[in-house]
Amino acid sequence: MGIEHIVYGPVPSRRLGYSLGINNIPPKKCSYSCVYCQVGNTLDMRVERANFYKAEDVAQVVKERVRQLEERGEPIDYLTFVPDGEPTLDTNLGREIGLLKPLGIKIAVITNASLIWCEDIRHELRKADLVSLKVDAVSREVWRKINRPQESLKLEAILEGMLKFASIFRGELVTETMLIQGVNDSSGEIEKIASFLAELRPNTAYLAVPTRPPAKKTVAAASEPVVNMAHQIFSQRLSSVEYLIGYEGNAFAFTGRVEDDLLSITSVHPMREEAVIALLRKAGRDWGVIEKLVREGSLIELAYQGRKFYMRKLPRDNRNSQTLEAGD
């Protein structure tokens, strides 16, 4: 079989616009076996890097697809390494990024960061324009429970590696924290993650919940009140915090239709009651709009520290949602 299948998309993503996915790892080789993994259980748990495909072949397949898309006038905003496994397990990752650079399209890598303690990998990742790091837990027992890491990995070294990377990386650094009910969604762990992220200083910290069926059937997304709490806690320490909850609308393009605008804003972050009132007033509408959306089950009202918030209801079984992520 050829390796044409390693390129897929472009997939529309709120984070990256039109993203052409590069699956540079054969299924499913990973250093983690996250309970929520949406590409199933890890088949080959490993931390050793390998030469899965020739870097020139990967670059060739991507270039060919880019050429076809350009011919059809289709836009591509990012070339994204987002495989069915961990992209940094590919020894050729740095070389592939180097070979793709001349295309003049931004390059993103979505990594679980488990190998970022290794200096070589930090230098390879540095060549990308955007790097997303997974930060689901900063306490060892919670990390073991949620990410089920390969046994030789050390959380302290990974966290230190992330900080070192942040200090040398000049591109866009983002983080992703998946919130799983009863695993990493206690206020204590969320506070600790927020403290670590405050030190890391990502451009944006994303809060996610699984939007497709996870590896372990018993795994459930954190509830809306908890997701809202996490947003409030993160926002106290970080300048930009957004949800990735499976709605890929453009949250910042106002349509003028107040229902649509409310739903797209609240799928990115919760809105305080005062902000909702202001938006309704601007649109010349009354509170009946909110009552209707709550009644229909698309909007949800929450209380946190004596204030009222509105957020988009989380999708419960959104098998068709198009998110950027393969495994992550």
Site residues, ligand SF4 (CB under 6 A): 30, 32-34, 37, 39, 42, 85-86, 112, 327-328
Taking the least distance from each CB to ligand SF4, the nearer of 39 and 314 is 39
Q: Minimum distance from CB of 209 to ligand SF4 (Å)?
A: 13
Q: Minimum distance from CB of 132 to ligand SF4 (Å)?
A: 11
Taking the least distance from each CB to ligand SF4, the nearer of 153 and 279 is 153
Taking the least distance from each CB to ligand SF4, the nearer of 161 and 270 is 161
Q: Minimum distance from CB of 38 to ligand SF4 (Å)?
A: 7
Q: At what angle do helices 273-283 and 258-266 cross, to 10 degrees?
A: 150
Q: Minimum distance from CB of 206 to ligand SF4 (Å)?
A: 14
Taking the least distance from each CB to ligand SF4, the nearer of 34 and 233 is 34
Q: Minimum distance from CB of 194 to ligand SF4 (Å)?
A: 21
Taking the least distance from each CB to ligand SF4, the nearer of 12 and 27 is 27
Q: Name the residue number minimizing CB distance to ligand SF4.
A: 327
